[in-house]
Structure 1
Amino acid sequence: MTLTASHRPPLVAEVTAKLRALIHSGEWPLQQRIPAEPELMAAFGVSRGTLREAIKALAHSGMLEVRRGDGTYVRATSEIAGATQRMYQDHSQEHILEVRVGLDTQAARLAARHATAGDIAGMRELLTARRVAWLAGDYAAWARADWDFHVLVAEASANPLLHELYVSFGVIFHNDLLRQQRRGGFNGLPHEGHGELVDAIAGRDEAAAVESVTRNLNSCAEWLQE
């Protein structure tokens, strides 16, 4: 009789994968507390020790944050996003902006090549929502719409790795945007890198798309140095 190794992953790894999927899918949103231990133990049919090991693994990767006496919260949507937050949380706005130059310009170039009509329509809708929120003074909604716009450009690049890398910077870029908004004289509705960018993407003009993004980011860099 020949014994064969089971291909089923260890129980902790299995539960970890289930928790990761719930976070990655958005069923457990960012900054929200996940269900309490008894509920998760019943849902997965596992012991408290197994569940805690799985949570510990995702907390170590940066996806979850265990707050003593308060519960466990979603901190990032993937391991790469958690690692990115740990790596860049102490860096300056200038450093963050320099990283964006590389990601945004490549996303713009590829989006001009691959974006669908649905992508372009979605971008225009987000820019409308962004304008409405800014004019209403709803800066949290403005920042969300602005960020969602740039994420959609990255998604429209048709490069899933670039999109994942871009999303991994989400909390950092989003918080940086809100910090900029609180400084006097900040223009929350620049046409460069937004309206111009969509027009370039719709026109399949890769050079114009990159130029629009570069102008916008250079303007941000100059403003930060003032």
Structure 2
Amino acid sequence: MLQKTNRQTLVEQVALQMENMIESGKWSVGMRIPAEPELMAELNVSRNTLREAIRALIHAGLLKTKQGDGTYVCSSSALGVVLKKRVLRSDTLQTLEVRYALEREGAHLAAQRRTDDEAHELLLQLERCEAAAKRGDIDQFVTADIQLHQMIINASHNEILIEIYSHIGEALHDSITSLTRYEVDADFVAMHRQLVEAIVAQDGDRAVAAVHRYIEESKDVITQDEGEQP
């Protein structure tokens, strides 16, 4: 038998208000939230209620406390925390499969919906990736590569897809870094140029094919590496 749902407690209401400030960007990631007296006055709650709400958000992974310094925002949403933890528990092949699903659709939509300004910015970002690869700067390439893929997803103008991808971006960093130990070569970089040029040309099928090529290449690299392990 279904039971009546309980109304939110005061602590839950306060935690929700604080979560909304984080998700709206009023409290950005890395920011130290206001001190207790200021929050107590703003939210019109007691110290105990406020502390319980903060503890709930710390447990959810949105806030973290630095001893003697204050409480900081460490994630922009609870969804981001969950996705990041899940990606970090997955192996590289599973992560690639998720990337393929998201990046394939993102590339297809971006080819249809990108603006002229977005096309220009994608070409500039591609040049940054190519320059880092030419220098052999793996760290800079990884950073530029993640930014490039996020820009492509942003150009899809699908807010849900953008949010999901942005939340797993940090967790993808380790996966992409491990892959680029092997594959930052001319062919791999060329696949990214094919992808960007297809989006600029608004050729969705060609963009999807480019995503397929570099994901399959990455899978082959992983498979070969595992086969060489003793």
The residue identity in structure 1 corresponding to 2:210 is S
- 5 Å-filtered alignment, 1:1-226, equals 10=10, 13-14=13-14, 16-22=16-22, 25=25, 28-29=28-29, 32=30, 34-35=32-33, 37-38=35-36, 41=39, 44=42, 46-66=45-65, 72-136=71-135, 138-181=137-180, 183=181, 185-187=182-184, 190-226=188-224
Task: Return the alpha-carbon distance in structure 2 between the equivalents of residues 68 and 33 of structure 1.
Answer: 15
Task: Return the alpha-carbon distance in structure 1 between the equivalents of residues 11 and 87 of structure 2.
Answer: 33
Instruction: Deviation per CA, 1:129-172: give whole Å up to 9, x if none.
Output: 23334445554433222111111111111211111111121121
8 A contact 2:11–2:53 mirrored in 1: no
Task: Return the alpha-carbon distance in structure 2 between the equivalents of residues 138 and 44 of structure 1.
Answer: 47
8 A contact 2:63–2:75 mirrored in 1: yes
- Report the secondary structure of 2:184's partner residue: coil
Change (3 A) 1:11 1:103: same
Match of 1:3 in 2: none
Task: Return the alpha-carbon distance in structure 2 between the equivalents of residues 39 and 23 of structure 1.
Answer: 22
Question: Please, which runs of 5 or more residues in structure 2 have no aligned partner?
Answer: 1-8, 225-230
Q: CA deviation at 1:213?
A: 0.5
TM-score normalised by L of structure 2: 0.77
The residue identity in structure 1 corresponding to 2:76 is T
Change (3 A) 1:75 1:216: same
Question: Please, which runs of 5 or more residues in structure 1 have no aligned partner?
Answer: 1-8
Task: Return the alpha-carbon distance in structure 2 between the equivalents of residues 51 and 188 of structure 1.
Answer: 53
Task: Return the alpha-carbon distance in structure 1 between the equivalents of residues 23 and 115 of structure 2.
Answer: 28
Aligned length in residues: 214
Task: Return the alpha-carbon distance in structure 2 between the equivalents of residues 38 and 133 of structure 1.
Answer: 45
Change (3 A) 1:19 1:133: farther
8 A contact 1:111–1:157 mirrored in 2: yes
- Of all paired residues, the percent bearing the same amino acid is 27
Instruction: Deviation per CA, 1:189-226: give whole Å up to 9, x if none.
Output: 62355211111111111110000000001001111112
Task: Return the alpha-carbon distance in structure 1 between the equivalents of residues 116 and 76 of structure 2.
Answer: 28
- Report the secondary structure of 1:169's partner residue: helix
Task: Return the alpha-carbon distance in structure 2 between the equivalents of residues 170 and 40 of structure 1.
Answer: 33
- Report the secondary structure of 1:194's partner residue: helix
Task: Return the alpha-carbon distance in structure 1 between the equivalents of residues 219 and 138 of structure 2.
Answer: 21
The residue identity in structure 1 corresponding to 2:117 is G
The 10-residue stretch of structure 1 (129-138 or 213-222) with the greater mean CA deviation from structure 2: 129-138
Task: Return the alpha-carbon distance in structure 2 between the equivalents of residues 147 and 17 of structure 1.
Answer: 32
- Report the secondary structure of 2:90's partner residue: coil
Higher helix share: 2
